[in-house]
A and B are shown apart, each in its own frame.
Chain A
Amino acid sequence: MTINPDRLSPALRTEALEQILTERGLVDPAVMDKFISTYENDVGPLNGAKVVAKAWTDPEYRARLLAEGTSAIKELGFAGPQGEHIVVLENTPSLHHVVTCTLCSCYPWPVLGLPPGWYKDPAYRARIVREPRTVLAEMGLTLADDVEVKVWDSSSEVRYLVLPLRPAGTEDASEEELVGHVTRDMMVGVAR
């Protein structure tokens, strides 16, 4: 049988390639699914991660970021709709910030990409205000009793970005390497 390669769509070629590589044990589809979802979920907030990594390594930038978030973020070239007024909230060992938007789902797009599904979920929006520790624990973040939790409600005027604590053991990491340690969930405050 002669095959006309022009008839073969990229979808068919991709499926064929995946089959062959899976049969040879070169690709595990489950591992691949995990990579895809990681990139879909965590690469979006790369701009925010760059802001955080710079703040972790440059004390003067950190001071500007905390004093005037919007202009400090703009310095790195990130601006746009829903990013007009961003306030940066600094986590400390004894204080944890978490962001919601009880009335709608306002979110700082230029730094965090599109909001994840749960952020828009009415249950998250209502419950994180009433019982933040419980909701955070359900999402995998159990905070010690001596850590104060502050919940911030975004509005059409103000968006919030959490500046997480620099992870332990990253003292020697460069700014570029640190970007890889910052996740969207840390910058919304549902991870620490």
Chain B
Amino acid sequence: MTAIESPRPASIPFLRCAAVAALVVIGFFLPRLLGGTSVAYSTLTTIAIFAVMCYGADIVLSYLGEVSLGHTVFWAIGGYAAANLSVKYGLNGWVTAAATIALCLAAAAFLGAVTLRTREFVFSLVTYAAAVVAYEIAFNWDAVGGSDGIVGIPPLKLPMLVTNFSGAMQEDLWPIAFILLLLTLAFIARFRRSRLGTTALMVQMNPALSASLGVDPRRIRLAVFVISAPITGLGGWLYAYQRAYVGPDMFESYFLVMMLTAIVLVGRRILLGPLIGTALLIAQQNLLSLGGDWNKIVLGSVLALVLIFWPAGLVGLYRRITRKT
């Protein structure tokens, strides 16, 4: 379970680049390959958005070893920023995205500073507490929507230099979601190799060693927590445009359980893990749904069973099978 992915040999960088490029192209045309219906587009857009949401929590869980129960706050910040700024002030997507990033960084810096000295379950409780406080504020404060939320969010507008991109239909939103997902993946890939990423892993796995090397674990923890927030936030930002509605339901535990399940299902510290996990879970809910209550049972059981029986996720299970035969 503690095995670190060894970096693949970089002897054939050209082949790797070509493979990645091919995957990106296939990924982009995937909704068309799946029939090009608007259900295909909306399902894949949802998968991309939820995967981005999960990657934010993934950084904290996989590289810090902490369970953040407060990432719904950043998810909601993104949604509320998009809704409030576009409905009330008519601002475009760039501004709402910039506001999302700024607000998420500020909220995470505050929450991170408060929880700096807490660990494990106290950290989880306090982040959860923060989510409850944020929920109560969003529910009762009419200036940000109150219990009714904000309806009628206009289609996403991202004016470029010459053209004006607009995401009025599900089909139009897909390229944005896809690019956001690619940027997230690139960021996570970069983070895994960065000094911060490797140091965070060292702090988690061998605190004594990291301390002897002069690493300040609190600073690392704060930095990782702060950079994880805008990722989940941008997921919520796009989710608001997709649904054209934002309300206190963005704090629902569904999103929290979804994030954690998607991360642990395939296996922690695997670059594409949360994306595949999200895709499996959304596909189950959209295509094989048994109703809301059954979906809860499925989601919760998957989460519990994976950790009880195959702590390393589906990848760990696969490795065990291939090693035995």
- A and B from one complex: no
